[in-house]
């Protein structure tokens, strides 16, 4: 069964870059599927950030596109998120997930990221 695990700093300073990695087990990223990031904050609810294919193709939420970069490392079976120029509104729980033809079928447990000096 596929499992996903987010990792990265829990505290990021304003204007810095948030970096998270999602390690995938029980399934090869290279087998296909899109791999996504979603965040959840009390103020904005669930917000889709974007997703990436194992080949590197990406789709980003237009509202975040200028600050988001996603990448995939097939050798380590993981994918990553970078969000630049963060502010307090980027404070959220960040989830990685595998996207099926329609829904996000399996999710990681989530990583709390707080933006504060």
Partner 1 sequence: DIQMTQSPSSLSASVGDRVTIACRASQSISTHLNWYQQKPGKAPKALIYAASSLQSGVPSRFSGSGSGTDFTLTISSLQPEDFGTYYCQQSYSSPLTFGPGTKVDIK
Q: Does 27 bind partner 1 (CB under 8 A)?
A: no
Are 22 and 96 a contacting pair, CB within 8 Å? yes
Residue 9 or residue 100: which is nearer to partner 1 going by CB? 100
Among the residue ranges 7-15, 16-24, 79-87, 98-106, the one whose residues contact partner 1 (CB under 8 A): 98-106
DSSP 8-state secondary structure symbol assigned to residue 90: G
Q: Are 6 and 24 in contact (CB under 8 A)?
A: no
Give the CA-trace dihedral at 13, 43, 21, 114, to 10 degrees.
30
| Residue 64 C-beta: closest distance to partner 1, Å | 9
Contact residues toward partner 1 (CB under 8 A) are: 45-48, 59, 61-63, 95, 100-110
């Amino acid at each position: 069964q596929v499992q996903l695990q987010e990792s990265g700093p829990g505290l990021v300073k304003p204007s810095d870059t948030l970096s998270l990695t999602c390690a995938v087990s029980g399934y090869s990223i290279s087998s296909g599927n899109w791999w996504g990031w979603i965040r959840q904050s009390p103020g904005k609810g669930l917000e889709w950030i974007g997703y990436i294919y194992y080949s590197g193709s990406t789709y980003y939420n237009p509202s975040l596109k200028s600050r988001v970069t996603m990448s995939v490392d097939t050798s380590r079976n993981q994918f990553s998120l970078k969000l630049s120029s963060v502010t307090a509104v980027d404070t959220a729980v960040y989830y990685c997930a595998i996207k099926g033809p329609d829904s996000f079928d399996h999710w990681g447990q989530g990583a709390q990221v707080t933006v504060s000096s």
